[in-house]
Amino acid sequence: MTAGSLAHGLSQIFFQKNVWTGLLILAAFVVADWRMALLVVVGTVASTAAGYLMKVGADNVEMGLQGFCGALVGAAVFAAMGGDQAWSYVVALIGGLLCAPVTWFFVWLFGTEPLKRFALPATTAPFCTVAGIMYVTTTSLHVSSAGTHVADDTTTAFFRSLLTNVSEVVLVNSLWGGALILLGLFVASWKVGLAAVMGSVVGSLCALAFGENLQNTANGLEGYSGVLTAIALAVVFLRSTTASWVYALIGTVATAAVTLLMHDLTSGPVYTWPYILTTWVFLIIAAFVPALKRS
């Protein structure tokens, strides 16, 4: 485990292995709150160390594939419990450690028949699983969330959301945070950055078309999963072609619908489940579409 593997753990939140991208994502956390950044580091170190101890493979650890779910767990702990109480750091540590075996479980599950043929990624499902358990078992420790931006009109909500959709992938509500992360994505690859922009724009347009709450839209809560879906389908899990980009656009619209449905079903955080479920389904469908090839 090296400093590079920890930086990669942050960049892998957006499927990238790039130290500079990871550092810009860390900077976004610092802009939001230095205590959040600290919890993210705790989660990243814990999950990376646990993966190393489970002997998942040196390359896997170095690429950051054991760290990103722990990083997100750290962010989720801050969102629920804040950064002032000692329990936040204990929960982030335990949650980070749990990400490794939960990741192993999903990898094992998708390696069994009949799922094996679809080569489904575990992606952020371990984070969502661990964070969900953490959320419901620590309710007595929850704190009030920070104030959010109140949107006055549709235009303001839309343009603000273009950056907050990106930042809310990591549970940060910040224009500057979104700008730093988006810069990091373009540093990694212009295609990745462009896919993120497409996902953000489409996600916000869908949220407005579906009549979603303007404040939630402005603060990125309706569009962040679409950012991940767009990147995943346009350039990561499928070969980047015209077909994959069109498919990613459709997937982003579907993600917006799943987000709406999940928000109607629960008052708790849905984390990145809308992206995960949509991407899994679309990758299964892609296996039967000749124009779409896995990367």
Q: Evaluate if residue 148 carries a pLDDT over 90.
A: no
Residues 29, 127: one domain?
A: yes
- For 168-226, what is each residue's pLDDT tens digit? 999 999 999 999 999 999 999 999 999 999 999 999 999 999 988 899 999 999 999 99
Residues 189, 107: one domain?
A: no
Question: Where does the pLDDT of residue 2 fall: very low under 50, low under 70, confident under 90, or very high at 90 and above?
Answer: confident
Confirm whether 295 is domain-assigned: no
Residues 158, 267: one domain?
A: yes
**Overall number of domains in the chain:** 2
Confirm whether 95 is domain-assigned: yes
Share of the chain above pLDDT 70, in %: 98
Residues 37, 89: one domain?
A: yes
Confirm whether 149 is domain-assigned: no
Residues 242, 123: one domain?
A: no
Instruction: Annotate the chain with three-state secondary structure.
Output: CCHHHHHHHHHHHHCCCCHHHHHHHHHHHHHHCHHHHHHHHHHHHHHHHHHHHCCCCHHHHHCCCCCHHHHHHHHHHHHHHCCCCHHHHHHHHHHHHHHHHHHHHHHHHHCCCCHHHHCCCCCCHHHHHHHHHHHHHCHHHCCCCCCCCCCCCHHHHHHHHHHHHHHHHHCCCCHHHHHHHHHHHHHHCHHHHHHHHHHHHHHHHHHHHCCCCHHHHHCCCCCHHHHHHHHHHHHHCECCCHHHHHHHHHHHHHHHHHHHHHHHHCCCCCCCHHHHHHHHHHHHHHCCCCCCCEC
Residues 22, 132: one domain?
A: yes
Q: What CATH number did the domain enclosing 98 receive? A: 1.10.3430.10
Confirm whether 68 is domain-assigned: yes
- Considering 141, 172, 191, which residue would you say is the last residue of a domain? 141
- Domain membership of residue 239 as a residue range: 154-286
Confirm whether 146 is domain-assigned: no
Share of the chain above pLDDT 90, in %: 90
